[in-house]
Amino acid sequence: MSESEELHKGLEGVLVAESALSYIDGSVGKLVYRGYAIEDLAEDASYEEVLHLLWNGHLPDSEELDAFTDAITEEAAVDDVVLDALAGLAEADERPMAALRSGVSMLSAADDGDSDPRDSDAALETGRRIVAKIPTLLAAYDRLRRGEDPVEPRGDLSLAANFLYMLTGEVPDDASAEAMDQALVLHADHGLNASTFTSMVVASTFADMYSSVTAGVGALSGPLHGGANQDVMELFFEIEAEGADPVDYVTTKQEREDDWRVPGYGHRVYKVKDPRAKILEKRAKELSEASGDTTYYDYAKAIETFFTEEKGLDERGIAPNVDFFSGTVYHQLGIPVDMFTPIFALSRAGGWIGHVLEYQEDNRLIRPRGRYVGPENSDFVPLDRR
């Protein structure tokens, strides 16, 4: 590479693939999956319908949806060899995202199906098995680390409802199941984000789907990608513990720590409020009011109002993203804070798989270049003379 060639650090603005799965217009806060507005899908489509849309290119009719959902439900159970490994990780107090990463990788050991990545049908079936089992993995791990036995999945519940059931041991009410399902719809895909691109890089070598999804989990575990919703809730817990005013607390924290930023604020793509944040804000309000405790929702709204009306951050392209309200939703559902990012992965796995399948239809090994800036013409000195 010559010095005159432009360097694109972080590949920002570089087109590396074409995709029909999702589209984002960050200037107006628009997100669509295969042409459908996220607002419509979040309001009226289930996560299973969205998976079918992403993987098969169209929304299913009733017969297709039943068959698709049944196929997922049939694969939800996790083999004992994987559960035993999770128990060991729980005993070692492993972080949930790390446990998920290891768990997804271990699923291949108990998979006797055809997982040949060069066979698109086999790759799709492998992806289906992975998506079916991730909720079981996560719920089992959380119960194991609490000293409780895993709960087996039920065949009569949606993926979202089954996850909450396996987590708590109780069938969720309709409002909780709908909230969980909506959150999964909203997180299912989002263009070529870091974890999706990571999955595609691995898939471009024709590694199997387990490797691609495991890599996606690893990328999502980094604090610059996933995890802001956990940070938001931990901030709210701090405010509550201090008995502080939320606006005073965050402004004081900003003054004392130059590099501190309000978690859940700003986005690499969106220059206005994230459309997913608008939807989850409404859901957080509904759940909070139904529970009789609006503390954390009120914190979020007070902080947002201050930064919008007093500081004008929205005019500078800085506004709440999806994580600013999703944590409040998950907390209202009784989900532990360190499970928030794993739930992100639970949903986004559907998008990772969709992009892998799409990219492999016209696969080319992803192999960028780097500019060498090291020393030249170094004289080698034998070991005995160094």
Active site residue 58: no
The three-state DSSP-derived secondary structure of the chain is CCCCCCCCHHHCCCCCCCCCCEEEECCCCEEEECCEEHHHHHHHCCHHHHHHHHHHCCCCCHHHHHHHHHHHHCCCCCCHHHHHHHHHHHHCCCCHHHHHHHHHHHHHHHCCCCCCCCCHHHHHHHHHHHHHHHHHHHHHHHHHHCCCCCCCCCCCCCHHHHHHHHHHCCCCCHHHHHHHHHHHHHHCCCCCCHHHHHHHHHHCCCCCHHHHHHHHHHHHCCCCCCCHHHHHHHHHHHHHHHCCCHHHHHHHHHHHCCCCCCCCECCCCCCCCCHHHHHHHHHHHHHHHHHCCCHHHHHHHHHHHHHHHHCCHHHHCCCECCHHHHHHHHHHCCCCHHHHHHHHHHHHHHHHHHHHHHHHCCCCCCCCCCCCCCCCCCCCCCHHHC
Q: Choose the catalytic residue: 52, 323, 331, 355.
A: 323
Catalytic option among 52, 187, 267, 355: 267
Catalytic residue among 79, 116, 225, 298: 225
Q: Quote the CA–CA distance of 296 and 240 in Å, as a whole number.
A: 9
Residues 6 or more apart whose CB falls under 8 angstroms from that of 146 comprise none
Instruction: Confirm whether 225 is a catalytic residue.
Output: yes
Show which residues are catalytic: 225, 267, 323
